[in-house]
Structure 1
Amino acid sequence: MDVLTFGETMVALRGDGPLKLGGSMAVSVAGAESNVAIGLARLGHAVRWAGAVGDDEAGELVLRTLRAEGVDVSGASRDAGAPTGLLLFEPRLPEVTRVHYYRAGSAGSRLGVDAAERAFAGGAPPRVLHLTGITPALGASARAACEHALRRARELGVQVCLDVNFRSRLWSHEEAGAVLREWMPYVDVLVASDDELPLCLTADAAPTELPGRARALLGLGVREVVVKLGARGATAYTESGELHCPARTVRAVDAVGAGDAFVAGYLSALLDGAGVAERLERGATTGAFAVASRGDWEGAPTRGELGMLDAGDGAVLR
């Protein structure tokens, strides 16, 4: 197994206009950790997603979709006492989509330490554990499960990638900071937007400039600090210095899932043994595919498709 992703996945309903007006909705699945898992699987890596879904048809859709995408779900569990979470996407303007969550008391929010232990069971440990800051925000049980996964990864010598993915509707800056700062000694690759980095540092150790914040995190033991800058690309900070990669130019269709796609590309190149420049470039490419496609993960490229953006405008591939 190359990568283990651990966290919440929900059923996603996408409307074509205001929800109060009714209409049709497209049914899919979504979750930051499973988005990354699918992105990596399409790039040819062996990936396991571990989490919990309800013992319901929605949970079956989650597991069936991940299996169909080549993701190992043997570490997943079915919770007979809680439903699979749900989220609704409501397009309101060409550039604005509202998201409504129905996840309180969901199976994903009730993840426990046993689920984290089961995620590592069966065979050799993964090369990388990928977590986000979303699942620990769902409650004390899910937080404890993530922390157990971090400790197991350290015991087994597994690299840890953390995407901060701060969600203000789930927890406050103070709550997130208190948890994430405790996680830093376990993290090898930290991925965050520039405004999320202060969450990982104490107030007296958080410089105001981005390079200073990255250096402070490197000083805490993080090996790589990768900062997502949206349309401006991404910058990686390591002990060797700073390296920037611009975003790929595409026609933006839907920005949802772009950060997860970037992480999948970055980790893919890391697993291939590529240098920082190539990791950033692959992350920028997979992120561009996401922005140019609708859905959380549906537009994720296969390895053979990575070069398609170089074909030029209006190209017809035969």
Structure 2
Amino acid sequence: MASVITFGEIMLRLSPPFNLRFVQTDSYDARFGGGEANVSFALSNFGVDTSFVTKLPKNDISQACINELRRYGVDVSNIVFGGDRIGIYFLEKGASQRGSKVIYDRANSSISKCTKDDFDWDKIFENAKWFHITGITPALGKNVAEVCIEACKKAKEKKLTVSLDLNFRKKLWTSKEANETMSKLMPYVDICVANEEDAEKVFGIKAKDSNIIEGKLSHEGYKEVAKEISDRFNIKKVGITLRGSISASENLWSCMLYNGSEYFFSKEYLIKIVDRVGGGDSFVAGLIYSFLNGKDDREALEFAAASSCLKHSIEGDFNVVSVDEVMTVYNGDASGRIQR
């Protein structure tokens, strides 16, 4: 059985090619992606046995999705079937000063109709070491939130490490709704990950002296954010991704980790963005891989930061990079020189 279990929604992603806008394009590139699936994919690429759990309709689009996950070694045996549709999201990729846009078409997707009876967590968690979930999944409906809470409770009973990425999505629920539900999940969480906005939008914890619109991020402010999350919910480790947005095409990227007593900040990378979707998920996967392989907090943070840096160069949601490629950047070679 898999060492790492992730649970959530995977969607069909439709994007205009060549940075075209929705109102310009006459074709769409089709891929698949979703927060927890992205984590499973990245971990499988790193050689970790991982299983993605979801609910999908029984049709050819779902089969294409399953085939893509299986192609890269993700276990799909815990996927259940039912309902009528797979969720879709449309992504218009930004460039320069024009930001990206996302339009969701995911209402009434199969996973949004799931119930506690759909998943046998005792069986799913057999021999597992880690369970990962995001704040996107419980936002799909109260019934899905109940499934998430049950899964986290069972994971803790079985002494799995539980990680959670806050991943606030304002198009799915309000800050008040997110606070109410996520506060119920946090007591079961060992490692919490957030970005520059999540802690503020979900828990009202704002970083001082930071302005994400202007790309100004205060290390001291995010130290306070991490400490408050840790203290309020008794979280062992808090990771935060720090994106300094110069433009839609160019970002400064770094990450931090707080372990309850020490703060660590990674190297900062100047990245030219091919596709930014999944950057946070690749950071989470890097942390999970590192901790499963006995790396200390500093090593884990730098590996995760390098992994997520590379993701921004990969088209699609999935981080199609190897451990060796991450280690090249980790060890200081971020030149992008041809390998031959």
Measured after TM superposition, the shift of residue 199 of structure 1 is 5.2
Q: Is the 8 A contact 1:56 1:84 kept in 2?
A: no
Contact 1:261 1:300 in 2 (8 A): no
Aligned-pair CA distance for 1:312? 5.4
Within the candidate set 214, 217, 239, 1:226 is matched to 239
Which deviates more from structure 2 when the two are superposed, residues 105-114 or residues 68-77? 105-114
For residue 100 of structure 2, what is the aligned residue in structure 1? Answer: 97
User: Aligned runs of 1:7-156 on 2, under 5 Å?
Assistant: 7-16=8-17, 17-79=20-82, 81-91=83-93, 93-94=95-96, 95-115=98-118, 117-121=119-123, 124-156=126-158
Q: TM-score by structure 1 length?
A: 0.91
What is the aligned residue count?
313
> What displacement does 1:120 show?
4.5
2:327 and 2:305 map into 1 onto residues whose CA distance is 12
Q: CA, structure 1 residues 312+39, in 2 after alignment: closer, same or farther (shift >3 Å)?
A: closer
Q: Distance in 2 between matches of 1:247 and 1:141?
A: 40
1:161-310 paired onto structure 2 within 5 Å: 161-198=163-200, 201=203, 209-219=221-231, 220-230=233-243, 231-297=252-318, 299-309=319-329, 310=332
Q: Relative to 1, partners in 2 of residues 1:22 and 1:3: Cα closer, same or farther, differing over 3 Å? A: same
Moved >6 Å (runs of 4+): none
Could you tell me how far 1:253 is from its partner in structure 2?
Answer: 1.9
Match of 1:5 in 2: 6
Deviation digits for residues 161-204 of structure 1, max 9, x if unmatched?
00000000000011001111122211100000133224564x6x
Give SS of 2:93's match: strand
CA distance in 1, matches of 2:145, 2:200: 20
Q: Which runs of 5+ in 1 are unaligned?
A: none
Q: Is the 8 A contact 1:192 1:227 kept in 2?
A: yes
Identity of aligned pairs, percent? 28
Closer/same/farther in 2, CA of residues 287 and 122 from structure 1, 3 Å limit? closer
**Matches of 1:312 and 1:50, distance apart in 2:** 35
Q: Secondary structure of 1:254's match?
A: coil
Q: Which runs of 5+ in 2 are unaligned?
A: 209-220, 244-251
What's the C-alpha RMSD, in Å, of the aligned pairs?
2.1
Aligned counterparts of 1:245 and 1:105: Cα–Cα separation in 2: 40
**CA drift at 1:246:** 2.5
TM-score if structure 2 supplies the norm length? 0.86
Shift of 1:22: 3.7
8 Å CA contact retained: 2:55, 2:114: yes
Partner SS for 2:288? helix
